Structure 1
Amino acid sequence: MNITFTSIPSVIERHDKPMTQLTSALDKRIQLFEGSAGFLVGDLALSQGVAPYRNINSSPADLDYQLLAKAGLLLASGARSGELVLTTGFPSAVYELFKQQAEKFFAVRDVMIEYNSDTLNAGGRSRVQLTISHLEVIPEIMGCINAIRKGTISDEGNFFIVSLGYGTCETALSTADGPIARTCVSVPGLRHAVNTLHDELSANYYLSMKNEHMINQSFQRGDIVIGRKRLNLLNARSSHLTSYYNEILSPAMRKAFTDTDFEKANRMYLVGGGALYPELVNHFKEEFDGVLDIIVPEGADNCASIGYYLRSALWCGPNHIERAVGLDIGNAYTVISSHAADKSRVEPKKQESEVVSAFLSE
C-alpha cells in the first residue's frame, strides 16, 4: 500500500491576526479563518498559542471538531480544490449520537476552507473548495479492525483488539463473521493517567497556564519544565499508567472477555497512541502471559486512519485512488491518511491498481 500519513495535535486557539515569518511545511503552520475570526491549529497552536484546547469527544457541531476536520481535509487535498472520498469515525460510546451530525457537516454542502497561505511575508488568505463525493462514518474500532484485516498484516483469523486512545479505550474480539458485540466495550482513555499526573503536579508546583493537552505533551516526552527547572516524568508516568491499567483497563477486559473467548483467539493487537508506551504494553503481556500473544503492529497509532483510508479506497476504485482519504480526528492527535503517489514509477495508473488489488478482490 502506498499511503502517506500526516499527524497534527488536536488543539486549536483563537488568533485573529495572520501569522507571518513562518517557513515550515503547511502541516506545521496551519491558521484557519471562520468569518472574521482566525484560529491556530495543531503544532502552530502549541508553539505560538498560550492555552491551546480541544474539548474531549466534541461533536461535529462544535467549532473545535470542525476546524480540525477542515485542517485534515486541507492537508489531504494538498491545499487544492477538488473531490475527495472520505471515511471517518467515532468511539462506540458516541458513535450513534455523532454519526448524523458528521454526515450533515461533511456531505450536505461543499466544505469551504479559508487559510493563511502566505506566512512568510505579510500573510495572505486563500480558499479551498472541497466536494465530499462520498462519505462513510464507521465506529473507530471497526476502522482499526479493517486496518488489521485489509492492511499489510492481512490477519484473516480471530483476534482480540484494544484501541488505546486518549479520550476512550475500545475493545473487541474480532472474528471472520464480525466482532462479538458483547466484547465491544468503551472505557476512559489515557487522559485518565494524564489527569492524575496533572493533579499530582499541581499539588506540588504552580503549573501556570498548562492545561491537560499541554501536560499530555510532557507526558509523552517524559519530562516537563516548571519554574525554569526540568523535571523527569518517566517514573511518575509509569506509576500513573500502572494505576490506569489496574483501575480501568484490566477490570473492563475481565468483564468483557470470557474463557470461551480465549478459546477462539490466541493473539491481541494493541493499537492507538497508548500502544507506544512500553510500560503499558508490558502490563498486557503480564496479564495475558500464556494465553495471548500481545502484538503492537507497525504504525499502531495510525491504525484507525489506515482502516478509514482502506474503506475510502474501496469506493474510489483504482482509477481515482488519489481521492481516498481516511480522517481520524482523535482527542490528542488528528491523523490523515491519503494516497502517496510513487513518482519513480512511469506507469502511475498501473501502480494505483496494484495498491488496491488486495482489498478490491474481497
Structure 2
Amino acid sequence: MFKTKEFPSVFEASTAELVDVSNNLLTGLKINHNGSSYVVGELALLEGNTPHKGINNAPSDLDYRLLLRAALAVAKSGIEGPMCITTGFPSSTYGANRDAAKDLVEGAHTIDIDGRTFGKSPDVSIEVEVDQVEVIPEIEGFISGVRRGKLNERDPFFAVGLGYGTMEAALSLPSGIVQRTTTSASGLQYATKLMSDRLQQEHYLDMLTDHQLDMAMREGTIVIGRRKMDLTDLRQDVLSTYYEDVVSPTLKRAFDDSDFGRAEKMYVGGGGALFDELVDDFTDEFGDILSLKIVPDPASFISQGYALHAADVARRDRAVGLDIGNANTVINLFEEESV
C-alpha cells in the first residue's frame, strides 16, 4: 500500500568534495542552501564529524528547512506533477508552527544538490511543486493510520505515540478525538539523556551527539575507547525510569476512569514501541484492563497516517505523508495500484 523512504534527521555543514560515496540520492544527500553545503541523513552519519539536529524545531530553524528540502527531493523521485503534502507537529507546538509550516512547504521549490556523491553532476537542480498542504497534530496522524489504514479500527481506543522528541496521547472515539485527553510530554530523548549521564560518570564519550547515542541505545551496544560495551542492562534501567517518571504519570493525568469505561484497546507506536522494555511496562500497567496493540511499522506509522490524510484532499498518486521527526525523517507515498 505504501512506499516508505526515510533518512536520519541529522545534518552537518561540509565543504568536502565527496565523489561516488553513495549509490543513490537517498543515501547521498548533499544539499546546497543559502550559499553553504550540507550533508544530510545517512551521508552526514558517514562523512560528518558531529551530525546533529535540534529537538522539535520550528519552520524558521535551519534544521527544519534543510530536512524539508531533503525530503522534498526524495519525494520527487516518486511523484509526477504537483504534490499534496500532509505533515504535522506535536500537540504542544502545533498551534505556534501550523501557519508558518504551511507557508514554507506550499509553492514551488528549487532544490540544489551536489550529485557527485552518487555519480551525477555537481550541480543538480530538482524542481518540486507543492500545490496543497495540510498541517495537523501528530496524534491525529497516528489516529488516521489506525482508523483508515490496514488496521481499519472502528472501536474507541487510546492512542500513544512514543517519539524521540515527544510522546503524544489521546482517546479516539469513532466520532473524533476527545480533546480533553490530548497530551504531550518528553519523548525518548529523556531516556537517552539519562543513559548519557550514566555513561559519562565513568567514560569519556568523545562528543557523541544525541542521535548517535539514540542509535547506540537501539542497537544495545556502544564503542568507547575502542572497546565495545553492552548496554542491555543500562537500557533496561533508563527506559524503566523514563516510563515511571514520564509516560505513566502523563497518561494518568490525561485519562480518567470514565475514559477507561469508553475504550478497551490501546494502540502504541512511534520509535519507542520498538523497545520490548517499554512494551513490557505498558503491559504491566494496562494489560489487565486494555487490549494492548503495537501498530505495524511503528517508526513510520505517523507518516502513513499523514499520507492517508493527504489522500482525502488529492489523488493518491499525488499524496505524500511527511514526518520530519527528531530521529528520522519519513516520507510515505502510495504504491501504484495493480490492475
- Shorter-chain TM-score tier: over 0.9
Higher fraction of helix: 1
The residue that corresponds to 1:357 in the other structure is: none
**Residue 141 of structure 2 contacts residue 303 of structure 2 at CA under 8 Å; is this kept in 1?**
yes
Q: What does residue range 160-199 of structure 1 map to in structure 2 within 5 Å?
A: 160-199=158-197
Distance of 2:26 and 2:119 partners within structure 1: 18
Between the aligned partners of 1:10 and 1:117, the Cα distance in structure 2 is: 20
Alpha-carbon offset, residue 81 of structure 1: 7.4
Deviation for aligned residue 1:121: 5.1
Helix, strand or coil for the counterpart of 1:180? strand
CA separation in 2, counterparts of 1:81 and 1:37?
29
Q: Does 2:234 correspond to 1:239?
A: no
Name the SS of the counterpart of 1:156 in structure 2: coil
Q: Deviations over 1:208-231 (max 9, x none)?
A: 121211111111111000000000
Please name the residue that 2:112 is paired with: 114
Q: Distance in 1 between matches of 2:173 and 2:118?
A: 52
2:104 aligned residue: 105
CA contact (8 A) 1:16 1:36 kept: no
Letter of the 2:200 partner, please give it: S
The alpha-carbon deviation at position 293 of structure 1 amounts to 1.0
Distance (Å, rounded) in 2 between the aligned partners of 1:26 and 1:273: 24
1:1-362 paired onto structure 2 within 5 Å: 2-78=1-77, 82-107=81-106, 109-120=107-118, 124-317=122-315, 321-341=316-336, 345=338, 347=339
Q: Distance in 2 between matches of 1:34 and 1:169?
A: 31
CA 1:289–1:35: 2 relative to 1, 3 Å: closer
Name the counterpart of 1:356: none
Separation in 2 of the partners of 1:113 and 1:79? 16
Shift of 1:187: 0.5
Displacement of 1:16: 2.6
Q: Do 2:221 and 2:228's aligned partners in 1 also have CA atoms closer than 8 Å?
A: yes
Give the root-mean-square deviation of aligned CA atoms: 1.5
Read off the aligned partner of 2:333 and give its amino acid letter: S
- Asked whether the 8 Å contact 1:266–1:291 carries over to 2, the reply is yes
Moved over 3 A (4+): 79-82, 120-123
Distance change (3 Å), C-alpha of 1:27 and 1:120:
closer
1:229 to 1:158, Cα distance in 2 relative to 1, 3 A: same
String of CA shifts for 1:294-325, please: whole Å, max 9, x gaps. Answer: 100211211110111011112223xxx22110
Any conservation in 2 of the 1:308–1:327 contact (CA below 8 Å)? yes
Percent sequence identity over matched residues? 36
- 1:289 CA drift (Å): 2.2
**Distance in 1 separating the partners of 2:85 and 2:79:** 16
Structure 2: any 5+ residue segments left out of the alignment?
none
Are residues 123 and 237 of structure 1, via their aligned partners in 2, closer, same or farther at CA, if it must alter by over 3 Å?
farther
Q: Distance in 1 between matches of 2:73 and 2:80?
A: 9
CA distance in 2 between counterparts of 1:286 and 1:186 reads 22
The total of aligned residue pairs comes to 339
TM-score normalised according to structure 1 size: 0.91
Distance of 1:70 and 1:111 partners within structure 2: 8
User: SS at 1:316's partner residue?
Assistant: coil
Post-superposition shift, 1:178?
Answer: 1.0
What is the CA–CA distance in structure 2 between the aligned matches of 1:52 and 1:46, rounded to whole Å? 6
Residue 25 of structure 2 contacts residue 118 of structure 2 at CA under 8 Å; is this kept in 1?
no
Cα deviation code 1:181-203 (max 9, x no counterpart): 12111010000000010011111
- Distance in structure 1 (CA, Å) of the matches to 2:335 and 2:25: 17
Letter in 1 for 2:171: L
